[in-house]
Amino acid sequence: MSYAKLRQQLAEQAARLMFENQISFQKATQQAVQRVGGGFISRKALPTQREIRAEIAKLAWFSEQTDDRLLEPPEEEDRFVVYGALLAPLEQIQRYGRANRGEDVLSHSLRVFDLAKDELPYDEEFLTAALLHEVGRAIDPQDAARAGLEALDGFVTERTAWLIEHLDGGRAFLDGSLGQRSRRRLAESEWFEDLLQLAECDRRGCSLGVRTSDVELALGYLQELDDAD
């Protein structure tokens, strides 16, 4: 079997595992390798996250179709389908620390989104960063920001990506632990004030016991903003 055909099979299998079981890219790929290749696959045959996302988009589209409405699937990936696929595994990941005991990452992300919506209700880029800032946790917990940005490549704006990339710095700026040189670099950005506002929403979003939106409502709100533009 050619590498291309094997990559396609692995991408389809991993996408189905993510779509049905709401697991991370990493776990889905590992399980797909086990099922398709018995656990032994050349690295050349491993599908990329973009290839897996494309298959997830197809699955999501077909799941919405009925027997009497058979249409051609979309050629381009729907970014809101991608967002939903990246958010779903966060429900299985717990946040750590005394203030976050019993909190899953998805609930935190939705709470930050709600707080951000109170602050800047019509700023789609800012709200997208608030909702998606933790998606890398399900891909590579050791380097979550980088992993999240790679998964979102091509699906978020430059400003949204910058806010996600520098959120750790924004948190450190607020609590006073960021060095002077890094503080100056952040302050030079045209989006610096937005970053501090997002970091404050993230800090307040650690409170437990507050009702949040669900993923469908959050994505629906973003889509309405996108349609309005």
Tens digits of residue pLDDT in 146-198: 888 988 988 999 999 999 999 999 999 999 999 999 999 999 999 999 999 99
Cα Rg of the chain (Å, integer): 19
Cβ partners under 8 Å of residue 133, min gap 6: 109, 112, 148, 163, 164, 167, 198, 202
Q: Domain range for residue 137? A: 82-228
- 56 and 168 in a single domain? The answer is no
Number of folded domains that form the chain: 2
pLDDT of residue 98: 46
| CATH code of 138's domain | 1.10.3210.10
Nearest to 131 by CA among 191, 87, 175: 87
pLDDT of 7 strictly over 60? yes
Look-up: residue for tokens 């091509």? Answer: 154
Cβ partners under 8 Å of residue 102, min gap 6: 94, 208
Which of 24-28, 59-63, 83-87 reaches the highest mean pLDDT? 83-87
> Which pTM does this prediction carry?
0.72
Q: What is the pLDDT of residues 185-224, one digit of tens each?
A: 999 999 999 999 999 999 998 876 666 778 999 999 999 9
- 54 and 92 in a single domain? The answer is no
Average pLDDT over residues 59-80: 59
